Amino acid sequence: MTSGRFGRLAIALIAAALGILSLAVARSDPVGSFAGKSALGGIAELGAGWSLVAAGLLFWIRHRRNRFGPLLTAAGFAWFLPEWSNPGVDTALGFAVGSLGFVACAPLIAHAAVAYPTGRLRSRLDVVALAVGYAGALVLLGLLPAAVFDPKPTGCFDCPRNLVLIRGDGGLFDTFNRYGLRVGIGWLAVLGALLLWRLVRSLRSHSRRLRLRSAGGCSGSGGRVRPSLASSSSWDRCRNLGRFAML
């Protein structure tokens, strides 16, 4: 087994352990968790995170130099981070990581989607869109709210100590979250439009290539099939198809 495969196997084992540990954290305080008390919720949470990691690792194995696989794998890990902002977490470090990476999964999945299939961003618009997404998720909904969140005055007596707290301010905490959600909703709309536009362009390009191939089938050694060698209706179809392909 090569070092690369050994490393990816280690990543898979870490992801499995992180998922189980995150579910255990959720069970310690179901009220503050996303999985809740139900077994179905726990299965859905584990299945989603592990599926992202598995898909990313499989793509990574086949395309080692492509960033799509690592991005999808990282998104699978980030999927479990919201559970670590649960008051039932016993470690202050875990609580801080969960608070900072609360919505980190969304921009990672968006990055993977925009970069697919080459793993690289194609335009400045892609860079700007993802920069806004990362800033909104990690700063506006991550770092800034965490820096002003003091658990004890807000009534969260079971919460661990906030390691990134600078100054407690409940009003500022609500403001950061409110504007962060607005930016996030707008960003998702723009990103969806960007991906839809790219899909339409790809389909149109593929359709045009098919038309050109079909038009090429109507060409003979001299450029066109003679009407005497084909029925008039077939000749008309080929001629019209050739004109349509040139549009």
Residues 88 and 186 occupy one common structural domain: yes
CB 165 within 8 A of CB 125: no
Residues 202 and 229 occupy one common structural domain: no
pLDDT at 230: 44
Residues 175 and 227 occupy one common structural domain: no
Q: Which of 46-50, 150-154, 207-211, 237-241 has the largest mean confidence?
A: 46-50
pLDDT at 23: 87
Beta strands in the chain (DSSP E): none
Cα 73 from Cα 63, distance rounded (Å): 13
Alpha helices in 3-121 (DSSP H): 3-28, 39-62, 68-79, 92-100, 105-115
pLDDT at 39: 81
Percent pLDDT > 90 in the chain is: 55
pLDDT at 156: 83
pLDDT at 210: 77
CA distances from 85 to 10, 14, 34, 105, 199 (A): 25, 19, 10, 14, 36
Q: Tell me: pLDDT of 34 over 90.
A: no
Residues 233 and 133 occupy one common structural domain: no
What is the sign of the dihedral through the CA atoms of 216, 217, 223 and 228?
negative
**Max intra-chain CA distance, the chain:** 91
Least confident range from 7-16, 36-45, 203-212: namely 203-212
Residues 20 and 95 occupy one common structural domain: yes
Cα 66 from Cα 117, distance rounded (Å): 8
CA distances from 68 to 87, 107, 179 (A): 34, 13, 30
Residues 15 and 77 occupy one common structural domain: yes
Q: How many helices (H) and strands (E) does the chain have?
A: 9, 0
Q: Say which amino acid occupies 3.
A: S
CB 241 within 8 A of CB 214: yes
Phi, psi (5° rounding) for residue 133?
-65, -45
Residues 187 and 240 occupy one common structural domain: no
Cα 100 from Cα 102, distance rounded (Å): 6
Give me the domain span that covers residue 110: 3-212
pLDDT at 155: 82
Residues 231 and 150 occupy one common structural domain: no
Residues 86 and 105 occupy one common structural domain: yes
**Which residue did the predictor score with more confidence, 101 or 6?**
101
Residues 63 and 162 occupy one common structural domain: yes
pLDDT at 217: 58
Residues 198 and 222 occupy one common structural domain: no
